[in-house]
Amino acid sequence: MSCHYCHSDETILLLRQELQTKDHQLQRLELDLQTLNQKYVAEIERVGNIQHEKDLVEHELEDFSRNLFEEANAMVSIEKRARWQVENELAQTHEQLLAEREQLHELRLRLTRDDAEQQQLVKSRIINTSHNTRAQMDLEELHGIQHDNITSTLPVCDSIDEIQLDSFREYILASKNLQSLKKLNQTNFMKHCLTEDIEPCLRFGLQSKLSIKKMIGYLSRQACFIEINNHGNQQQQIQQIQKPLWERFSSANVLLNSCSACGNLSQSTPLNYRFKLDENENWLPIDQFCRDRLVAVCEFFVFIRNIQLGLYADRTVQDLYAENIRLRLQMFYSRMGALPVVLNDLGLDPHQIGKATEPNNNQQDDISLLDSTGPNTPEQQLSPSPINTTWTLELSSIK
C-alpha cells in the first residue's frame, strides 16, 4: 500500500512539475503573443503611416504634374500669342509696305501726269497767244464763225489717223443698221469717247455725289434743263418730293449754298445756274464751270443722236468727224475750266457754249414725227419749255 501511494505521489509531483512547466510555457507564449501583438499593432501603424505618406506623395505628385501641365500650356499659349502678334505685325508691315509702294507709284504717276499737264498747259498757253490756230478755229466754227483761209494759215496735212476715222465710220454704219444704244456704246468709237472725254468731263471731284454712269445713261437719252439761277445764293434746303430722281445720285440733302455737282461752296464760286434732269424734279444749283461741263456733254450727245437718227445723211464722214473733234475739244476745255477764257480770247461770249450743227430742213422734214435730237435741254430764265427739234442750251439774252 505504501508503495502504491508513493508511486502516486511521484506521479502527482511529476504532473505538477509538468503543469508548472506548461504554465511557464503558457506564460512565455502569452508574453510572446503580447509581444507579437504589439509588433503587429506597431506594424499596422507603420503601414498606415507609410500609406498616408504614400497618399501625400501621390497628391503632391498630382499637384506637381497639374502645375507642370498648366505652366506648359501657359507657355505654349504665350508662345502662340507672341507668334500671332509677330505674324500680325509682319502682315501689317507688309500691307504698309505695299501701301507705301502704291502711294509711291501713284505719286510718280501723278508727278509724271502733272509734268505732262504742265507741258500741255504751256503748249495751250502758247497756242492761246497766237490767233487763228486750229483749236481756236474749231471753237469758232462751233459758234458759226467760218474761215476761208484755213489752208493758207495752217500747214497742209495729207491725211488723218485712218484707224480713228475707220472706228468713226463703223459707228455711223452701226447707227444706220438701227442697233440698240447699248450695242452702239460698245463700239470702239463710243468707248474712246466715254473713256477719254465724257466720263472725265462728268467727273466733278471727290465731293461730288453724282453717279457718272447714271448721268451718262440719263443724258444720252432724256431731257436736261439748265437755266440762270435767279435766287442767287440763298441758303435754303431743297424740298423733297415723292421719289425724287436726285436721290438716285445723292443720299444727302443738297443745300443751295454749295454746288450740287462739285460740292464747292458759293463763297468761292457763284452759283449762277441751276440744273435738273427732269422737269418734275427740283432745281439744283451749279456754278459756271460745272454748267459748261454739262452743256458740252449734252451738245456732244445731240450730235450723236443726230447721227443715230440719220439727220446727217447729207454730210460726209470727214465732215462729221471734224465736228466730232470740235465737240470733244469743247469738252476738254470745259473739263479743264478754261472754256470761258478761251472764248473770251476769241472775242466770243464766255457764257455761250458751241452747239452741234443743226440738220438741214430737208432732213427735218423727212423725220417730222421724231424728236430730231432726243429730249430737249432748255436754258432760260423762267420755267423750261419743250422744244421738239434741238436742245436749247443757252439763254437768248446772253447770245
Q: Quick check: is 332 in a domain?
A: yes
**Reported pTM:** 0.54
User: Is residue 11 domain-shared with residue 158, that is, in the same domain?
Assistant: no
User: Is residue 167 domain-shared with residue 42, that is, in the same domain?
Assistant: no
For the beta carbon of residue 174, count every other beta carbon within 10 angstroms: 19
The tally of domains found in the chain comes to 2
Per-residue pLDDT of the chain (399 residues), as tens digits, is 556 667 788 888 888 888 899 999 999 999 999 999 999 999 999 999 999 999 999 999 999 999 999 999 999 999 999 999 999 999 999 999 999 998 999 898 888 887 787 777 766 655 555 444 555 666 666 666 665 544 444 444 556 788 889 999 999 999 888 778 888 888 999 999 999 999 999 998 888 877 888 888 888 887 578 888 876 544 444 444 444 555 544 444 445 578 888 888 766 678 888 888 888 888 888 888 999 999 999 999 999 999 998 899 999 999 999 999 999 999 999 999 888 888 888 888 888 888 888 887 655 544 433 333 333 444 444 333 332 323 333 333 323
User: Is residue 171 domain-shared with residue 302, that is, in the same domain?
Assistant: yes
User: Is residue 198 domain-shared with residue 231, that is, in the same domain?
Assistant: yes
User: Is residue 244 domain-shared with residue 349, that is, in the same domain?
Assistant: yes
User: Is residue 66 domain-shared with residue 176, that is, in the same domain?
Assistant: no
For the beta carbon of residue 240, count every other beta carbon within 10 angstroms: 12
Q: Quick check: is 177 in a domain?
A: yes
User: Is residue 332 domain-shared with residue 205, that is, in the same domain?
Assistant: yes
Q: Quick check: is 249 in a domain?
A: yes
* Count of H-run helices and E-run strands, the chain: 12, 3
User: Is residue 169 domain-shared with residue 290, that is, in the same domain?
Assistant: yes
Q: Quick check: is 29 in a domain?
A: yes
Domain edge (last residue) among 78, 107, 129: 129
Q: For residues 123 and 135, is the Cβ–Cβ distance under 8 A?
A: no
Nearest to 172 by CA among 362, 313, 371: 313
User: Is residue 104 domain-shared with residue 145, that is, in the same domain?
Assistant: no
The predicted pLDDT at position 212 comes to 86
Listed in sequence order, the residues at least 6 apart from 108 whose beta carbon sits closer than 8 Å to its beta carbon are none
Q: Quick check: is 367 in a domain?
A: yes
Q: Which residues constitute the domain of residue 183?
A: 139-398
Q: For residues 393 and 377, is the Cβ–Cβ distance under 8 A?
A: yes
User: Is residue 89 domain-shared with residue 19, that is, in the same domain?
Assistant: yes
User: Is residue 289 domain-shared with residue 359, that is, in the same domain?
Assistant: yes
Q: What is the DSSP letter of 397?
A: G
The predicted pLDDT at position 231 comes to 60
Give the three-class secondary structure for 372. strand
Listed in sequence order, the residues at least 6 apart from 88 whose beta carbon sits closer than 8 Å to its beta carbon are none
For the purposes of burial, counting CB atoms within 10 Å of the CB of 379, is it exposed (0-12), middle (13-18) or buried (19 or more)? Answer: buried
Q: Quick check: is 48 in a domain?
A: yes
Domain edge (last residue) among 76, 102, 129: 129
- List, in sequence order, every beta strand (DSSP E) within the chain: 225-228, 273-276, 284-286
Q: Quick check: is 320 in a domain?
A: yes
Listed in sequence order, the residues at least 6 apart from 269 whose beta carbon sits closer than 8 Å to its beta carbon are 259, 287, 288, 289
Q: Quick check: is 134 in a domain?
A: no
Domain edge (last residue) among 94, 129, 164: 129
User: Is residue 214 domain-shared with residue 357, that is, in the same domain?
Assistant: yes
